[in-house]
Amino acid sequence: MFFQIPLIQLTAPLEKMKSAHGKLLGNSIFWISFTILGQPLAALMYFYAWQAKYGSVSKSMGGGNSSALPGNPFATCPPVA
């Protein structure tokens, strides 16, 4: 979101070009920044920050037993063979 204004300023001159290549280039810049540098990068940064703060749940719960997690509705169910 912070980069939308500079991105608009970057692609505005391309929009004013008379050829179709300018609009295509501006559209390509938008979609590349939106699909690669935008939301996915933000989600990865959030996940990295969460991992740095809380670490892995399996380490703190003793070997990755997901049935031992608090709030797991299947914690009392026997394992399926």
Q: What is the pLDDT along the chain (81 residues), one digit of tens a residue?
A: 677 788 888 888 887 877 778 888 888 888 888 887 778 888 888 898 988 888 876 555 555 555 555 555 655 656 666
- Count Cβ atoms below 10 Å from residue 65 Cβ, excluding itself: 11
Q: How far is CA 77 from CA 33, 52, 67, in A?
A: 46, 32, 9
Domain boundaries, the chain: 4-52
